[in-house]
């Protein structure tokens, strides 16, 4: 009998019931909720006279459409105010822990969970948000669910779900100068397309991932969904355990040691079989940037936009439509192209490590006159760290605008929108049409590349600065 993958081990340990010729009933260790996908779920509970089954397994925080200025004042946008108020009302009514606006733990749900030690190896974690895959960086099975499934988990702490196929993506070798986690995942998606992981749960393996920090691993797993995968995970190791040690809700003392001993069993057996295996060489990866309207439309920053002849005939119509939206032409060189906005933030790259990297790059420099630069911390804790470490002073001296925590311009659900026709180099995760505002033109890149663009006002190779 073949060994098991880490995904199999975690999944199988959480199956409460296997329905014949149907999905599994899976126990969920941790449920994270926010203001956008939970109101309907709570309304469903109320309509059936149900309570939240395990309140100690549910944590809430508003993030998607909260304002990022004047958070101490009443929310002006009517829908945002309604949803945030409804989240508060529902959490109070059902006894769910809420880190509301201005709470020291408030922030993007996928930043809050890891930094508080709520996210731990071996867990099953769900949230009504596709980027729940972020938590897989800790060796957990984490994925996004829909609103009706949010209601199911609130009511039962279980979820009916079909088991995904298993894919392993291995990247070995040393990363080059100026290349980081965001470049790795953009490179992979550019190779396998935005649908290349559909139907799979991905395990990332190899020295390139093992050498990443936990923040970097979160960036990689966060964007698993952008290749169509159900989720992605990385086997926990000493880097994982040291990140968790001492965090607010992590086990302490002897309990922590016992937990680590258990977590060390979370690895893929040598003889385990995957449904698909992909291998890449880290030396082939360079700073990346997207040119189109899905994350798979990415290139090395020194490359040109593909010529029409390089695109499969069946994809040429959508390719041309995408370039038309972006105001680009086939074969165009992106280096030197003028940009209008730089956005550093989101659940992909809004952590303290990302802000440190940008601050180190821009220290002593000024943003270009044509650039509007927004720095949006992923959480109140990140914001506090940035202030204590002097990063805020660096950003302000460089002409960057530091905003308050939230999803912000990643998805433009609040007032942080990129104007129509303007180009934004963004550290977020999606470059869909209108994602950052109606008509906005998004180019995804790493924090270092975003910093380089901010100070030059144009697309540049950060290795040249």
CA distances from 387 to 19, 123, 382 (A): 52, 33, 9
- What's the rounded Cα separation, in Å, for the pair 95 and 78? 25
What does the chain come to in residues? 465
**Which is it for the CA torsion 463, 281, 202, 261, positive or negative?**
negative
Contacts of 83 (CB under 8 A, 6+ apart): 35, 36, 39, 62, 65
Task: Mark 9-38 as b/e (b = at least 16 C-beta within 10 Å).
Answer: bbbeebeeeeeeeeebbbbbbbbbbbbbbb
**Angular region, 309: left φ>0, alpha ψ -120 to 50, beta rest:** alpha
221 is in an annotated binding site: no
The answer to the question of whether 347 is labelled as a binding residue is: yes
Q: How far apart, in whole angstroms, are the C-alpha atoms of residue 422 and residue 420?
A: 6
- The backbone region for 263, taken as left when phi is positive above 0, alpha when psi lies in -120 to 50, beta otherwise, is alpha
425: left (phi over 0), alpha (psi -120 to 50) or beta: beta
Contact 65, 79 (CB under 8 A): yes
Is 91 annotated in a binding site? The answer is: no
401 within 8 A of 369, measured Cβ to Cβ: no
Distance, CA of 354 to CA of 234 (rounded, Å): 20
Q: What is the signed CA dihedral for 18, 20, 22, 27, rounded to 10 degrees?
A: -10
The 3 state secondary structure assigned to 29-87 is CEEEECCCCCHHHHHHHHHCCCCCCCHHHEEECCCCCCCCCCCCCCCCCHHHHHHHHHH
List the binding residues: 347, 407, 410
Binding-site positions for [4Fe-4S] cluster read 347, 407, 410
């Amino acid at each position: 009998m073949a060994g098991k993958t880490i995904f199999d081990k975690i999944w199988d340990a959480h199956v409460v019931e296997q329905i014949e010729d149907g999905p599994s009933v899976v126990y969920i260790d941790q449920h994270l909720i926010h203001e956008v996908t939970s109101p309907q779920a709570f309304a469903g509970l109320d309509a059936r006279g149900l309570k939240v089954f395990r309140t100690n397994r549910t944590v809430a925080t508003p993030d998607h459409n909260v304002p990022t200025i004047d958070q101490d004042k009443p929310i002006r946008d009517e829908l945002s105010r309604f949803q945030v108020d409804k989240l508060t009302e529902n959490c109070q009514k059902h006894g769910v822990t809420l880190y509301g606006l201005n709470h020291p733990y408030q922030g993007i749900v996928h930043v809050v969970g890891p930094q508080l030690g709520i996210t731990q190896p071996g867990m099953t974690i769900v949230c009504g948000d596709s980027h729940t895959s972020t938590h897989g960086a800790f060796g957990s099975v984490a994925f996004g669910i829909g609103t009706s499934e949010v209601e199911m988990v609130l009511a039962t702490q279980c979820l009916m779900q079909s088991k995904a196929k298993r894919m392993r993506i291995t990247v070995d070798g040393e990363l080059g100068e100026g290349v980081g986690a965001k470049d790795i995942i953009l490179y992979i998606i550019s190779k396998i397309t935005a649908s290349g992981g559909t139907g799979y749960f991905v395990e990332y393996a190899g020295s390139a991932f093992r050498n990443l920090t936990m923040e970097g691993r979160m960036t990689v797993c966060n964007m698993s969904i952008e290749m169509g995968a159900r989720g992605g995970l990385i086997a926990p190791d000493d880097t994982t355990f040291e990140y968790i040690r001492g965090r607010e809700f992590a086990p302490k003392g002897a309990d922590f040691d016992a937990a680590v001993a258990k977590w060390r069993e979370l690895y893929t057996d040598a003889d385990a079989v995957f449904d698909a295996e992909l291998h890449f060489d880290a030396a082939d990866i360079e700073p990346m940037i997207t040119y189109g309207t899905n994350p798979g439309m990415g290139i090395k920053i020194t490359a040109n936009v593909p010529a029409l002849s390089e695109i499969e005939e069946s994809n040429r119509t959508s390719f041309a439509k995408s370039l038309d939206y972006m105001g680009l032409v086939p074969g165009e060189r992106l280096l030197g192209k003028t940009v209008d906005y730089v956005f550093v933030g989101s659940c992909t790259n809004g952590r303290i490590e990302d802000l440190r990297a940008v601050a180190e790059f821009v220290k002593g420099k000024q943003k270009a006159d044509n650039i509007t630069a927004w720095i949006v911390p992923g959480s109140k804790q990140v914001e506090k760290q940035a202030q204590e470490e002097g990063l805020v002073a660096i950003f302000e001296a460089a002409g960057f605008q530091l905003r308050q925590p939230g999803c912000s311009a990643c998805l433009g659900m609040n007032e942080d929108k990129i104007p129509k026709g303007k180009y934004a180099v963004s550290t977020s995760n999606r470059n869909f049409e209108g994602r950052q505002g109606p008509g906005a033109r998004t180019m995804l890149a790493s924090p270092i590349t975003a910093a380089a663009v901010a100070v030059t006002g144009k697309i540049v190779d950060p290795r040249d600065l």
